[in-house]
């Protein structure tokens, strides 16, 4: 999946809860519970509304000490996982 | 970026398609019969008894099944007046024998498909599992078909229906084993199937085991308690008293015994994943949201550990070192 070419990405409407900087997402239909660390929680929060890949990458760069190449690689990996678990929508 | 996933129930398909379709056909027939005339449907059930399950009023109705054995068994097991939810309308179970649909017992059960398959049809839930099929009309009437010779069938129906009703009253049926330590406090041992819940119960020694599969966690007056859920399992203790909760222990079999406090987020994830059958079917999103909200203070107030354990019972020594026995 080439996330850089998508127009927007957003998370599905699912029950979630942030606790001590981490996020728990429940997917009742699939009987799944997901846990995200601090960076994952940051991404989840930003994806509550439609966001472009570039905007998402820039927000991470603004908030975490990490280089552009690493962010793009990790962000793609994270989006791949979220897509695999059917937690996000995109166009 | 860390991203961890835990499935509360492994997704599996119904392996015997013919059996599944036969049970589905029964649901279709029952739905038509019930919806054609509820009063005539009710009248065709001449036998019944009532019981109380942790404050929930339950009625069991039958056409031709001899319910006396079940009345004695479920009364002894499910009668529990330790909550007052008397304002609740009774939950009516209408129990039909598979033979009424020309099923032989051996053909009705399909033991290779353990998961419950739920469909929502016209605001009703249809549930099909290895040993029962049923319809929940979502206003308190549940019509079910299961063989009375197999107690697991009716227990699986109760496990499907009751946990979602209890959660509204801050009572969670946890897929767990529960052992009362020497201090009189309850230990909930949690984990997916095969993690060691029954094993941990068998290693309890002289300690009291409430149950090795389903146990009740409840909140009352800002205190958290454990009680027998009495919804099946190999070990089911019929004692009605409650025990204060010492902690939750997420099981991992290992070559050494140790416990490690889990961060609140992991604790919340495991707590939600351990709530039995809560997300099956209708209203799962609302149920999940409520559970997350209720679970937040629980995981902040009740210790939640990852427990690596060996099968020799040595983990009790580790728990004693932490003043947890």
Q: Domain segments of chain A: what residues?
A: 7-90
pLDDT in tens, chain A (91 residues): 799 999 999 999 999 999 999 999 998 888 888 999 998 999 999 999 999 999 999 999 999 999 999 999 999 999 999 999 999 999 9
Dist CA B90 CA B93 (whole Å): 9
Helix locations, chain B, DSSP H = 17-36, 38-43, 68-78, 105-108, 151-167, 197-202, 264-274, 284-301, 315-321
Confirm or reject contact between B64 and chain A (CB < 8 A): no
d(CA A6, CA B184): 58
Show which residues on chain A lie within 8 Å of chain B, measured between beta carbons. 14-17, 19-24, 26, 28-37, 39-40, 43, 74-75, 77-78, 81-82, 85
Chains A and B form CB pairs within 8 A to the count of 96
Question: Given an 8 Å threshold on Cβ–Cβ distance, is B1 in contact with A23?
Answer: no
Q: Which residues of A touch B6 (CB under 8 A)?
A: 32-35
Which residues have CB under 8 Å from B290's CB, separation 6+? Answer: B167, B168
Partner A, chain B 269-288, Cβ-Cβ below 8 Å: 269-270, 272-273, 279-280, 284-285, 287-288
On chain A, the residues whose CB falls within 8 A of the CB of B8 are 31-33
In which residue are the tokens 């454990």 written?
Answer: B226
Distance CA B237, CA B49 (A): 23
The residue in chain A having the minimum alpha-carbon distance to the alpha carbon of residue B277 is A31
Minimal CA separation from A26 to chain B, in Å: 7
- Identify which of B11, B264, B285 has the shortest CB distance to residue A15: B285
Helix A68-84 vs helix A38-46: crossing angle, to nearest 10: 70
Q: In angstroms, rounded to a whole number, what is the distance separating the alpha carbons of residues B195 and A64?
A: 38
From start to end of A1-91, where are the E strands? 9-11, 16-19, 22-27, 32-36, 88-90
Instruction: Give the model confidence (pLDDT) of B314-325 as tens digits.
Output: 899 898 888 777
**The tokens 């036969």 sit on which residue?**
B22
pLDDT value at residue B265: 94
Instruction: Look at the block and give the residue holding tokens 């020799």.
Output: B312
What topology does CATH give the domain A7-90? Outer Surface Protein A; domain 3 (3.90.930)
Return the residue of B nearest to A40 by Cα: B1
Give pLDDT, residue B79.
Answer: 60
For residue B78, is it left (φ>0), alpha (ψ between -120 and 50) or beta? alpha
Which residues have C-beta within 8 Å of that of residue A56, sequence separation ≥ 6?
A: A9, A43, A46, A47, A75
B229 contacts chain A (CB < 8 A) = no
> CA–CA separation, B200 vs B189, rounded Å?
7
Give how far the C-alpha of residue B182 lies from the chain's centroid of Cα atoms, to the nearest Å.
Answer: 26
Give the pLDDT score at B310: 92
Tell me if chain A has a CB within 8 Å of the CB of B13. Answer: no
Q: Which residues of chain B carry a pLDDT beneath 70?
A: 1-14, 75-88, 105, 279-283
Q: Which element (helix H / strand E) includes A43?
A: helix A38-46
Q: In the prediction, which pLDDT does B80 show?
A: 53
Would you tell me how many other CB atoms lie within 10 Å of the CB of residue A65? 5
Global model pTM greater than 0.90: no
Beginning with the edge strand found earlier in the chain, give each strand of the sheet holding B117-121 in spatial order. Answer: B47-53, B56-62, B91-96, B141-146, B132-136, B124-129, B117-121
pLDDT of the residue at B84 = 55
ipTM: 0.89
The predicted pLDDT at position B30 comes to 94
Q: Can you give the pLDDT at residue B78? A: 65
Nearest residue in chain B measured CA to CA from A14: B285
CB contact under 8 A, A16 and B292: yes
Please tell me the number of Cα atoms within 13 Å of B255 on its side-chain side.
0
The CA-atom distances, in angstroms, between A49 and each of A40, A56, A88 are 15, 11, 11
Check residue B233 and give its pLDDT.
73
Give the gap in angstroms from C-alpha A81 to the nearest C-alpha of chain B: 8
Do residue B268 and residue A24 have CB atoms under 8 angstroms apart?
Answer: yes
Distance, in Å, from the CA atom of B160 to the CA atom of B84, rounded to the nearest integer, reads 22
For residue B10, give both structure tokens: 């492994």
Looking at chain A, which residue has its C-alpha nearest residue B284? Answer: A28
Q: Which residue of A has its CA nearest to B2?
A: A37
Provide the sign of the torsion angle of the four alpha carbons B60, B66, B67, B68, taken in this order: positive
């Amino acid at each position: 999946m080439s996330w850089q070419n998508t127009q927007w990405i957003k998370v599905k409407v699912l029950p979630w809860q942030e606790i001590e900087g981490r996020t728990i997402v429940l997917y009742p239909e699939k009987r799944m519970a997901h846990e995200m660390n601090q960076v994952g929680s940051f991404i989840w929060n930003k994806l509550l509304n439609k966001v472009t890949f570039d905007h998402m990458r820039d927000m991470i760069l603004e908030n975490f000490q990490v280089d552009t190449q690493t962010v793009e690689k990790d962000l793609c990996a994270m989006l791949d996982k979220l897509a695999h678990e059917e937690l996000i929508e995109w166009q | 970026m860390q991203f961890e996933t835990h499935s509360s129930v492994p997704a599996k398909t119904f392996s015997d398609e013919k059996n599944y379709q036969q049970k589905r056909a029964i649901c279709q027939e029952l739905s038509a019969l019930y919806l054609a005339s509820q009063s005539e449907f009710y009248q065709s059930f001449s036998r019944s008894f009532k019981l109380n399950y942790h404050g929930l009023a339950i009625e069991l109705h039958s056409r031709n099944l001899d319910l006396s054995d079940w009345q004695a068994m479920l009364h002894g097991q499910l009668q529990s007046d330790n909550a007052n939810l008397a304002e609740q309308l009774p939950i009516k179970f209408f129990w039909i024998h598979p033979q009424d649909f020309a099923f032989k017992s051996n053909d009705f059960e399909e033991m290779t498909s353990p998961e419950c398959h739920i469909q929502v049809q016209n605001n009703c839930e249809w549930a099909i599992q290895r040993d029962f099929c049923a319809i929940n009309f979502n206003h308190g009437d549940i019509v079910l078909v299961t063989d009375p010779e197999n107690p697991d069938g009716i227990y699986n129906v109760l496990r499907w229906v009751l946990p979602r009703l209890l959660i509204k009253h801050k009572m969670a049926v946890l897929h767990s084993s529960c052992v009362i330590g020497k201090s009189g406090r309850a230990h909930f041992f949690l984990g997916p199937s095969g993690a060691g819940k029954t094993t941990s119960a068998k290693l309890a020694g002289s300690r009291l085991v409430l149950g090795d599969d389903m146990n009740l966690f409840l909140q009352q007056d800002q205190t958290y308690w454990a009680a027998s859920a009495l919804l099946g399992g190999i070990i089911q203790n019929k004692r009605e008293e409650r025990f204060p909760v010492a902690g939750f222990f997420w099981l991992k079999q290992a070559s050494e015994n140790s416990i490690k406090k889990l961060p609140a987020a992991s604790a919340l994830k495991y707590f939600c994943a351990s709530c039995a059958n809560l997300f099956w079917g209708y209203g799962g999103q609302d149920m999940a949201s409520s559970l997350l909200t209720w679970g937040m203070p629980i995981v902040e107030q009740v210790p939640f550990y990852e427990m690596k354990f060996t099968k020799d019972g040595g983990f009790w020594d580790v728990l004693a070192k932490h003043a947890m026995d």
